[in-house]
Every structure is written in C-alpha cells, then in structure tokens.
Chain A
C-alpha cells in the first residue's frame, strides 16, 4: 500500500511512541478505507482526477485544514482522505472522506458541519446541500464535497461523485442512541449535534474552564428548541465519572443560568437566551427522558 508522507510519518510516530497493536491496525484500516472509497471515483464518466489522494491521521489533519481539524477530532475521526477532481464543465471539486470509526461519529461530524437553516436533501440520510457543497454520511464515513469558489457548481451536480463512493458502503448506519434522551417536541429541525470533546461543546455553549469534563470517551448530544432553549445530554463511561463532572461544575453566570440534572451515567443541562424560565421548563422534560428514554429518532 502506498502512503503519502503525512500518513507514513503518523504511522512511524505510533511505533516510536510505543503504541502498538490495536491502535495501529485501526489507523491502518481507516486509511485503507478512505483510499478504497476514493478509488471508486476512478470510472466516473466526465470526471477527471487532478492528482493522487492525500491521507491524514491524528494531528496531521492540521496540515490540511488548520483549526478546522479540531471539529473532526472532537467527533472521533480516524482518517481523512482528500482528493481533487475536475467536474464536467471544468469546476474543481474537492472530496473529503472521513473514516469516523462508527456511524454515530459519522453523523456527528455532519451534525457539526451543517447549518440548520441550509437546504437539506434526503439521500441515504439527510444531507446538507449548500451552495456548491454537499455534506453527507453513510455507515462510518462522512463525505464533504465542495467546489472551488471561483467556478462554483450546484450541490446536485456533486451527487454522482457522492454516489460513486457511498454505493460501495453496505451499512447504512444508525443515528446515535444518545439522541433518544432528547425531547422531540419543539425541536428545531437539523439542529442536533453529536460529539465527544470540549472544542465542539464550546461552539454551543462556551466555557472558559473544563466544564462537564468531556473526554474522547464521553458522548454528548445537543439540540436547539423553540423559545431559544438549548439542551445537552452527556453520557459518561461510568456513573462515578458523571457524578464527578456534576460535582465539579462551577456556578453558572447569573447572566446566562445553566440548569443541570443527573442520572446514573447521564447529565442533562438546559439554558436559554434570556432569564432561564423557558430552560427550566424544558429541563423537566429532559429529566424524565434521562430516566426513561424516548423512541429512536428517524432522522435528525
């Protein structure tokens, strides 16, 4: 298998630091997975490859996308493959293919990238179809396809490229089961986000400290609701970790109060844009769902 220098360096790094076995095999598999999907584009009529794919793992993602790499990392990404194409008509299209390890994480990256107000279309799952951009997921893979800014094309024109890759994925993948703890009533469509660590939470509710003690092994789902209410539910590896996070929460600022409940491995929190009354009302619903989760979400 041929690797770019970035990936070679990353793999050598794993050996040097003594991380053998499972981690290396997972990284290897992830890289091979995105390579295999990108290779599927080779026979696409009218599309021309502009060069070999570039492959990234770990912090090498910053070589490609600088600060934007924090969000895939916060969602659990394992490998990224990037390739450029000349679309029919000449526009340059970039395809980013992420192996996110699990379908839940693949949805998570889409959820962090999409704009709830943008146009969405139904593919294997709901996908964002922005101006010259298509953001979708299937199985454990996330796809971000976009055209260059100078000669942009419509999102629909990116569908053949997307389908050439997604058709090779057998597993459709399900939404994270954590979403079942969030209420359906009042939900702002396409607003739910799923992630693991603080950089993602900061985009939803910024805290200067390590509030909620998020780590790669915590799961979090946050969504917007009518009345400017936001809810987040976090699942910890153990009830002890959840309890410790709950006890460590600093007092919320008076300007923007935070209401929190906990149960077993779960913490739920609510806030709103004003005095907190609407948030407090939603917290009761959230608490009920922590005790007894609702039905699975059809799509989000």
Chain B
C-alpha cells in the first residue's frame, strides 16, 4: 500500500477537485484553492437568515471549488457513493446559523453517499432552541432523524471509533482566550480523541498535530460559517456574511483568519496565526503559505 504524506494528500485532493487525475508525487506543489462567497443580503444583526440567498452561496461556492457547473456534480466531486460522511457542526462557542448545517446536509445528500451522520457537538444540547432549529433544518433537508448523532463529537470525541471516510465541517471563527482566534485547525483539536485540553498550552500550538493521525484517512470538505464572527462565547459580533470553502483545512483557516482580522481583533496578546502555521510547518497538515493558496472571492 502506498503511504502518502499530507502534502501529497492535499495535492491529490486539489487535483481531484479540478477534475484532473490525482498525481500524488508532484515535483511542484500545486496551489490549493479556497473560495470565499459573500452575500450582503444573507443575514444581519436584526434580520434572520435569508435561506434563498444562503442556498445560492452554497451553490456558488461548491461549484467554484470543484470547477463544475452543476451543483450535484460539484458535491459529487468531494463526496462519493462509497463514502460514510460525518457532518460536524461548529460547537458552542459560536453556534452555527442552524440553516448552514441544514444546507451542508442537503448538499451532501445530493452526492448520494452510502451514509451520512450529523455528528453535532454534544455540548449543543445546552442550547435547546438551537438544537430544535438545527434538527428541523437537517431533517427537512432529507436526513433521517436517526442520523443525528450527539455521541460522536463528544469531548473527548469518538470519531476514531467510527468508520467515516469523509468529513464535512462547518466551523465558525471567534476570538478565543486560548487560541487567539479559533477556527478550522483548532476545531480538529476539539474533535480529537484526547479532546482539546492537551493542546491548550502556548496558544494551542499542537492543535494541528491531530489532523493527519486522526483525520488524515478521511477526505475533507471545510465550509467555514463566516456569516458572523464571534467574540468569545458572547455570540455574534460582526456580520461578515460569507462562507469559505476549501479542502485543505490549514489553507481554509488561514484565509478565514485573514477575513476575520479585517474587522475583528484576536483575544488579548494571543497570536492567532501561530497554531495555524505550525499545523503546516511542524505537522504538515496543510498549506499556510499564502503564496501557495489561490483565493477566489465571489459575491452573490
């Protein structure tokens, strides 16, 4: 069996996304693509989410990331019929807009995978109103109620006990009193078998260490819910009105952080880029070098 490192894994995924045969041992690293979709009408502080606008954002993002002109084909680029998919939400520091989880579930189902589990964070149950909205949205999208599973994304988690082959996640970004700004890489640490606590020291410098060993066997589709950015656990602070799509968790997180910092500050003196960069340079879990990330900005 050919073992490949993360660089090659990412390169392969990027090639697949572009509809090109995967070439694991490329001489030149291929740029990874991250797509930012923004819609001024999707949500605002005193305005609920516009589900039609949200769907257009999802469709635009997934098609541009995949290079396909058909929404179902685009989802099939990332999810195959053989896949057992885990859809992980953002957790409780800044809960997802529930409709984002529902729309991600709907997209996954378009690809007709073998199975899908909505592995919501077990701490979400502390927010019964949100749980009810998320459950209604996800089942309304066609996910059977029994596919909602709060026993996987526990802390510490049980992802390692399951046989998922594809991971779709919808993390949010917020200022964070340990990581500076939490996002995709930190989300992996939270979802790891040991939980986030062992990774807390030094602004979560080891957060990226879990990505390859624990999640490297799965394909990754990251959809950052950047409709709003948060402040600690205090909820939404800034309405960014964007979604960010990528297959490289580190690259998606770097782009998301840059977007966050345009209008928001990290917590205190904590360096938010550090654990993201180390996820690349120390743990080889993705690309943090901005010159190797192709950022596509769309407005719908």
Asked whether any CB of chain A lies closer than 8 Å to the CB of B146, the reply is no
Q: Does A63 contact B (CB under 8 A)?
A: yes
Contact B202–A208 (Cβ < 8 Å): yes
The smallest C-beta distance from A40 to any residue of chain B, in angstroms, reads: 22
B-side contacts of A71, CB under 8 Å: 177
Task: Determine if A293 is an interface residue (Cβ-Cβ < 8 Å).
Answer: no
Contacts of B190 in A (CB 8 A): 66-67
Highest count of chain A CB atoms <10 Å: which of B123, B176, B182, B269: B269
Query: Which B179-233 residues sit within 8 Å CB-CB of chain A?
Result: 179, 182, 190, 195-197, 200-205, 232-233
Chain B residues closer than 8 Å to A151, beta-carbon distance: 129
Asked whether, in the complex, the Cβ of B129 is within 8 Å of the Cβ of A67, the reply is no
Chain A residues, CB < 8 A from B203: 202, 206
Q: In residues 124-179 of chain B, which contact A (Cβ within 8 Å)?
A: 126-130, 155, 176-179
- How many chain A residues sit at the interface, stated as a range, is 20 to 34
In the complex, what residues of B have CB within 8 A of residue A150's CB?
129-130
For chain B, what secondary structure do more than half of its interface residues adopt (helix, strand, loop), or is it mixed? loop
| A209 and chain B: residue at smallest CB distance | B202
Is B246 in contact with chain A by the CB < 8 A criterion?
no
Shortest CB distance B95–A (Å): 7
Set A64, A65, A133, A198: member contacting B234, Cβ < 8 A: A133
The verdict on A205 contacting B269 (CB below 8 Å), with A71-B177, A148-B127 known, is yes
Give the interface centre of A66, A131, A202 by most chain B CB atoms within 10 Å.
Answer: A66
Closest Cβ of chain A to B174, distance in Å, is: 11
A162 to B203, CA, bound (A): 33
| 16 contacts across the A-B interface (CB closer than 8 A) | A62-B195, A62-B197, A65-B233, A66-B123, A66-B196, A67-B182, A67-B190, A67-B196, A67-B200, A68-B93, A68-B178, A70-B200, A92-B129, A112-B177, A151-B129, A206-B270
Across chains A and B, which 4 residue pairs bring their CB atoms closest together, nearest first?
A203-B268, A67-B178, A149-B235, A206-B269
